Amino acid sequence: MSSPPSTYTGPSVPDMLASHSLAENIIKYDAYPESGRILDDGEMNMLRRFVQNPDEERSRILEEEGVEMGTGEGLDRSLVALIVFRHAGGDGGGKGGEGGLLSEREIEVLRGWFAERNV
């Protein structure tokens, strides 16, 4: 078996968001070295917190990341912050699968995966 590539070689983030395959690919590429994964350790920790309790963690995460709730200013620094921001109605997003970047099914898949990993 060959070793995984040292840099990310999978689909683009816009393609994964459009096809709702981001969660699937986060899981798929997690075994790669950090440079070959979609999210680094800090982003993974933030995503884990969010999927465990989206409604309660949303404002806390955005505040910690320095994202302005009304304007979305500061979103250019973090894919997970963008996911969190769009989840509950920020910037035209909707609740869960209604305009959010992750569907409710994807959130459930990630929640279960994080629980299995015991992190």
pLDDT tens for 42-87 read 999 999 999 999 988 999 999 999 998 888 898 988 999 999 999 8
Q: What are phi and psi of 52, to 5 degrees?
A: -65, -35
The residues, any chain, with a CB within 8 Å of residue 81's CB and separated by 6 or more, are 46, 61, 62, 65, 67, 74, 75
Residue in the structure block whose two tokens are 């920020």? 90
For residue 105, the enclosing domain spans 13-117
pLDDT at 71: 86
> Considering the domain boundaries, does residue 33 fall inside one?
yes
Q: How many CA atoms lie within 13 A of 98 on its CB side?
A: 5
Least trusted range by pLDDT, from 25-29, 33-37, 90-94: 90-94
| pLDDT over threshold 80, residue 13 | yes
Number of domains in the chain: 1
Joined tokens for residue 18:
């459009």
In terms of Cβ atoms closer than 10 Å to its own Cβ (0-12, 13-18, 19+), residue 37 is buried
> Considering the domain boundaries, does residue 1 fall inside one?
no
Confidence of residue 34 (pLDDT cuts 50, 70, 90): confident
